[in-house]
Structure 1
């Protein structure tokens, strides 16, 4: 992973954009959705950039850029039509501890701007590390059609309710199960039924434990699609060998990892409503299947 994805709080963030043409305008369209303070330095500005300045959303300095301009900001976008100037200013920014993006020039970027699906508090970012932005845009188009606009007010509603849920439910596992039940009832809608689903979810917190079994001979790529949601809800992963590659990516990253604990410990954890994956050799998995007939053995194409 060359580029590590981060979501930066834009409150109080100072961003400098050098350049005022169409390329700069595309970056500004996205930056102006944030809460960042944006300054633009450009010898000339296209109509879109000039309009943003007229509305007061950006501060526009219509003049050539100088080296002293590259300071007192956290991020700088370099989007002039003078590529050697862009590269030189990027190096200067880097020497001053400022992250620089030379638009359409990944080798000279400290960060890149991903393709973004914006649903208010829900933001999905897609990147191909600069290799295939056209493909990233294609994925974005698919997600735009899949994620409904109702998600924006829904997540505003959820943000308003988080403190109430924390007050009513004392433990993190209880809260996680509450929100799972809420989404199972409500889905991605925000309508007159949402309040009722919210209250109903408090009455559905009791959950039986679940034991999932995967043997080390099973190729993760052959697991059924339905297994993905199960693996993302795990509380515990037990194994006596390293889980790597594709299977590790499919599992919930926050799940506890530990060695296989034995029958009695598994029974106790399942009694507490824990969701456990045991990954091991076929002999181990067969023994656990015999003792826990309700366990779900995840295999290629089958649950």
Structure 2
């Protein structure tokens, strides 16, 4: 098979210029939609038109030449697209265009075409065109889909601001090197984050400030939820922010697979808390690092497992940033309760079994968390305990003492959503024993309530749930000892 041609990339200004599309079906309709968006004066030639094209003719948006292709259709044409399902007809269009030195695109036939239409990603005036030279259009489409997920809509707004300021930028910065440094300052500064939140005036001010300064004034912090561990559950915004980060402060339990999606040359700093450690000292160090790197003009990502606002101390960190005048944004993550329960086949609410849901922590700032145990002991509700590895005996005893049935189902989900996920299921009275026998380790989430029984019925991900009888296991372990 011959190599694909080395195409010369070119963007055309088709505003008011006549373009001929031969063919009246769905393919022609897709091409015409893009041509109209570019401001072209479109003529379509075909015996009959599909409904969308016929409506556009009636509305006066395009012109129709009825019948089979005729060379005179090429009069005054700048570009022609052959979009019929007949290769002989497409070949005739391409040959006639060649004779008149008119560029011709033949849909899905690179051999006949003298011009190819690339896969395209568009954000306002910013466009990225992808071509495989006709050798692998599916690969070009795949790359386009990947870029669609990675490129933020704010890029379009930023491009418009740059266009509006183009004359002023060139006047104030006639030197090319100075202009380059200006754009680097803007692109590494807060303008794009401000546009994401819809604050165009502040973004414009950031550009104005960059025109009159030589160094960035300060950086910013993005508080980002990494989800439970599966990189496929990371949000698009989180992925984009990770690829812009200069510094990433991440919890110990953020998965390696998620970290691998971040910008390769970023500085990675693990700041996770460990069991038995001085959590307050660790949190103070995190605050200091956030302030230090942001004040150095860097884009900082504070990456937390799950969602940063659900038992993640995200609020405390934002209070510190606000007090020090450092800009920030928040990118929510899929919290562990939702993700881990879903991967364990546990519906957190159910019309017959659970009409309310409570998200709780087993630990407070100064030790075991204190709860309204009477309220928690009521049936027909789901309790989800974060950091649910320690204090399980106290938790069981408190719930049973306040009226929750000893037979209430529970499920411990260890490493939820990850390949090594384990689910241990049983009844409330045997909760601490089962956790001890199976050596449950963090990260683990505890679900208590009638819906936890669905872990065995609706299992779909990872290893089947462990539902061993506690007394048999205890006897076996005692015998082995």
Per the normalisation by structure 1, the TM-score is 0.65
Q: Does 1:202 align with 2:206?
A: no
For the aligned residue pairs, the C-alpha RMSD in angstroms reads 2.1
Q: Does 1:67 align with 2:32?
A: no
CA contact (8 A) 2:24 2:84 kept: yes
Structure 2 equivalent of residue 16 of structure 1: 20
Structure 2 equivalent of residue 80 of structure 1: 84
Match of 2:154 among 150, 153, 162: 150
CA contact (8 A) 2:20 2:43 kept: yes
Higher relative contact order (CA 8 A, sep 6+): 1
Partners of 1:55 and 1:149 in 2: how far apart?
Answer: 31
Partners of 1:54 and 1:204 in 2: how far apart?
Answer: 55
Q: CA deviation at 1:142?
A: 1.0
Q: Does 1:109 align with 2:113?
A: yes
Q: CA deviation at 1:19?
A: 0.8
Q: Does 1:90 align with 2:90?
A: no
Partners of 2:96 and 2:174 in 1: how far apart?
Answer: 51
Structure 1 equivalent of residue 340 of structure 2: none
Q: CA deviation at 1:13?
A: 2.5
Larger radius of gyration: 2
Structure 2 equivalent of residue 169 of structure 1: 173
CA contact (8 A) 2:119 2:144 kept: yes
Q: CA deviation at 1:28?
A: 1.2
Q: CA deviation at 1:24?
A: 0.8
Q: Does 1:29 align with 2:33?
A: yes
Structure 2 equivalent of residue 54 of structure 1: 58
**Alignment length, in residue pairs?**
211
Structure 1 equivalent of residue 139 of structure 2: 135
List gaps (5 residues or longer) in structure 1: 208-223, 228-303
| C-alpha spacing 1:225/1:5, structure 2 compared with 1 (3 Å) | farther
Q: CA deviation at 1:122?
A: 0.4
Structure 1 equivalent of residue 202 of structure 2: 193
Q: CA deviation at 1:14?
A: 1.8
CA contact (8 A) 1:71 1:96 kept: no
Q: CA deviation at 1:70?
A: 2.2
CA contact (8 A) 1:127 1:133 kept: yes
Cα deviation digits, residues 173-223 of structure 1 (max 9, x gap):
21221121111113534224202211221243269xxxxxxxxxxxxxxxx
Cα deviation digits, residues 51-72 of structure 1 (max 9, x gap):
2223322112233221221221
Structure 2 equivalent of residue 126 of structure 1: 130
Partners of 1:170 and 1:83 in 2: how far apart?
Answer: 53
Partners of 1:182 and 1:13 in 2: how far apart?
Answer: 36
CA contact (8 A) 1:117 1:123 kept: yes
- Residue 188 of structure 1 aligns to a residue whose secondary structure is helix
List gaps (5 residues or longer) in structure 2: 217-262, 267-481
Partners of 1:47 and 1:150 in 2: how far apart?
Answer: 35
Partners of 2:179 and 2:104 in 1: how far apart?
Answer: 40
Partners of 2:185 and 2:33 in 1: how far apart?
Answer: 37
CA contact (8 A) 1:18 1:78 kept: yes
Per the normalisation by structure 2, the TM-score is 0.42
Q: CA deviation at 1:23?
A: 1.5
CA contact (8 A) 2:23 2:83 kept: yes
Q: Does 1:178 align with 2:182?
A: yes
